[in-house]
Chains A and B, each alone.
Chain A
């Protein structure tokens, strides 16, 4: 299968003819001798080590590109340690010695704007990256790292569009068919989805494992950011999530488990009796216990369909730090790792990632030979592509991480009957103001 993928991608690369030339000489004389990259795990590093031309590995966290030495500063996410460390270092950036300055750092979507919407991050155009260079990327991946003035300040090599994965056995039992088109009819919008929840429940299944499963799908489709003029606001679609989920939980159609808890992942196995999960490609490939005998994924028992609304989940973005003395090298790494067709192809074949490259993914979506074993031989890529096309993420804010976390935590109390809606909302406001003291409600 992998060979097939490779050939398709190579064909695409040649068709579109956008093989990005390594035009500028990386590591030219006028530039710094040390490239400092801040990250929280080994994911991006592995990609660079394997795929960036001219990267020589010295040890796990050091390497060289030409005569520039590369230093990876890895701080784990746990306890917010990564951001704490990055914040402190960025704030000292101006006075730091040239070789100690951060050149590149990685961010996730939920807090991207905290960094992007400041002068500490460079616009990609400043690096010399043109819009033509990145024309093949998914728009949502650029929305995430576009600051409040509309300036693009980061790039990602991944696409993480999500779909709905349903239990094929359950679908056959309940709807008499496990065909994606048939199932889609039952989940095409939230009203239908919620009505279907009862049908599913009558057959002994939970519609989703937890109310938290659908949160992302609602919150990716908002029309207002979390904070408007320093005031916390709750979007209608978020309130829809609250009302829909409360009804589902009260009726016993779903639970309130935290994601990744044992109760939540029980539905990866048939005995868990969960009808569907929401997730992107990495979720079904790596996280649904598909390598364990007896799991639904092991038997190819999941089906993919678009579900009620499009959403994305996960992804890592690369930003260039203002003050870097390696601009041309940073530019080249960003281009090589996020736009170069050969690299993108290799990422797909080597790591089974969904890459941030429309023509490549669309070609694979149309490939009749590409199929996913976990999904019972289905090719889900077209759905991923379709779902992500309609996503409008212009309403992100730098407060998203805190707001999303605290909102779900507070609402759990409401769903479980430990608080009224007003009490739960009060708790949410209180918790957000603790994190962002400048906000009001």
Chain B
């Protein structure tokens, strides 16, 4: 009896491997090969000057030394984190607030379908088109400046993209606008998976909406919240298109809005597999450490 049972379990579990096949095959083919060549290339001098190929010449850890000693990578890592946090905090707060409201039966919000639909719409606009619109709004002669001037806050147009903090703020704002709907949808989908009888039971016990949110919704949402935190962090560290387009790739003023991937992108111009590869490896290590930190923190919460 026991032996047949065990045999059955084993035969189920082989399906684990079978179901993994498509992912593994495609990954190995389309991502692993380029990745290995990226890492391999980080030990070589290998770039293109115009139409002339330089290298590949093995130079050991020289590329890593170049990047780490210049110290720039830390500046860009700092910029990236600052802009991510500036955008992520309002983003997660709004998402949680909306999520709480939408899932609160006592509030009986009307037009929920409309609101839920609208919040994701900004993400549908291409980042480059979005930036074109942003430019006209925040230009010297744009409506924001004329509004501020009419209200008497400023006497001459404020150059939003020429000031370190306003430029970072604009990048964060645009990111937040584009992505908060995404986060809200993720959270809402998570909330929908929660057994509604739990809410009803809590209500019968006389729990307030706040109690329901913190005692039932949030704990049950934890896996999705961890997902949101980690993917936002990873996405944040990979922040590229918004600051790239808003600053036309310059990361101005004085590269204070230059992100890690924008820096990596600079090396694509010369097809610099060497430095670009080394930078990628460093990026990977940074992302890994930070993600691990979030993982550890979230699992500690769990044990509490």
Of A80, A409, A430, which contacts B269 at CB under 8 A? A80
Report which of A80, A118, A258, A418 forms a contact with B50, defined as CB distance below 8 A.
A118
Name which of A33-41, A345-353, A432-440 contacts chain B. Answer: A432-440
Complex contact A413–B269 (CB within 8 A) = no
Please tell me if the beta carbons of B51 and A438 are within 8 angstroms of each other in the complex: no
- Are B253 and A418 in contact (CB-based, < 8 A)? yes
CB distance from B248 to the nearest CB of A (A): 7
Q: Which of B259-276 contact A (CB under 8 A)?
A: 266-267, 269-270, 272, 275
Q: How far is the CB of B75 from chain A (nearest CB, A)?
A: 12
* Interface range for A: 20 to 34
- The residues of A that contact B140 with a CB separation of less than 8 Å are 255, 257, 263
Given contact pairs A257-B140, A261-B139, A262-B135, A437 touches B270 in the complex (Cβ within 8 A): yes
B33 in the interface (beta carbon within 8 A): no
A114 x B253 contact (CB < 8 A): no
Q: Are B141 and A262 in contact (CB under 8 A)?
A: yes
Residue of B nearest to A91 (CB): B51
What is the bound-complex CA distance between A255 and B253, given in angstroms? 16
Contact B135 A413 (CB under 8 A): no
Q: Which of A91, A258, A266, A418 is close to B254, meaning CB atoms less than 8 Å apart?
A: A418
The reply to whether the CB of B250 lies closer than 8 angstroms to some CB of chain A is yes
Contact-residue size bin, chain B (C-beta under 8 Å from the other chain): 20 to 34
Q: Cβ of B142 < 8 Å from any Cβ of A?
A: yes
Contacts of B296 in A (CB 8 A): none
What secondary structure prevails in chain B residues at the interface with A? loop
Q: For B53, list chain A residues within 8 Å (CB).
A: 91
Asked if B141 contacts A266 (CB within 8 A), the reply is yes
Which A residues between 107 and 122 are near B, CB-CB below 8 angstroms? 114-115, 117-118, 120
Q: How far is the CA of A168 from the CA of B163 in the complex (A)?
A: 35
The interface residues of chain A, by DSSP majority, are classed as: helix
Q: Say if the beta carbon of A402 comes within 8 Å of chain B.
A: yes
Please tell me if A398 contacts chain B, counting CB pairs below 8 Å.
Answer: yes
The contact of B48 among A87, A115, A413, A434, by CB within 8 Å, is A87
Chain B nearest CB: distance from A239 CB in Å?
Answer: 20
A423 with B254, Cβ < 8 A, contacts A118-B51, A261-B135, A262-B135 known: yes
A90 contacts the other chain (CB 8 A): yes
Least CB distance, B299 to chain A, in whole angstroms: 40
B49 and A412 contact, CB distance less than 8 A: no
| Contact B51–A120 (Cβ < 8 Å) | yes
* Cross-chain contact B51 with A90 (CB below 8 angstroms): yes
- Do B269 and A435 touch across chains, with their CB atoms under 8 A apart? yes
What distance in Å separates the Cβ of B212 from its nearest Cβ neighbour in chain A?
Answer: 49
Q: Within 8 Å CB of A409, what residues of B?
A: 248, 250, 252
Q: Which of A115, A398, A418 contacts B162 (CB 8 A)?
A: A418
- B155 interfacial contact with A, CB 8 Å: no
Once the chains bind, are A258 and B162 in contact (CB under 8 Å)?
no
Select from chain B the residue with minimum beta-carbon distance to A410.
B250
Per the bound structure, the CA–CA distance linking A262 and B284 in Å amounts to 39
Nearest Cβ in chain B — how far from A214, in angstroms? 19
Contact status B269-A434, CB under 8 Å:
yes
| A427 within 8 A of partner (CB) | yes
Docked pose: A261 CA to B138 CA in angstroms: 11
B47 cross-chain contacts in A, Cβ below 8 A: 437
* 4 shortest interchain CB distances as A-B pairs: A418-B253, A434-B266, A114-B50, A409-B250
Residues of B within 8 A of A (CB): 47-54, 72, 135-136, 139-142, 159, 162-164, 248, 250, 252-255, 266-267, 269-270, 272, 275
18 A-B pairs with CB atoms under 8 Å apart are A80-B269, A87-B48, A117-B50, A118-B51, A120-B51, A255-B140, A256-B159, A263-B140, A409-B248, A409-B252, A427-B255, A430-B72, A434-B266, A435-B269, A435-B270, A437-B49, A437-B272, A438-B54
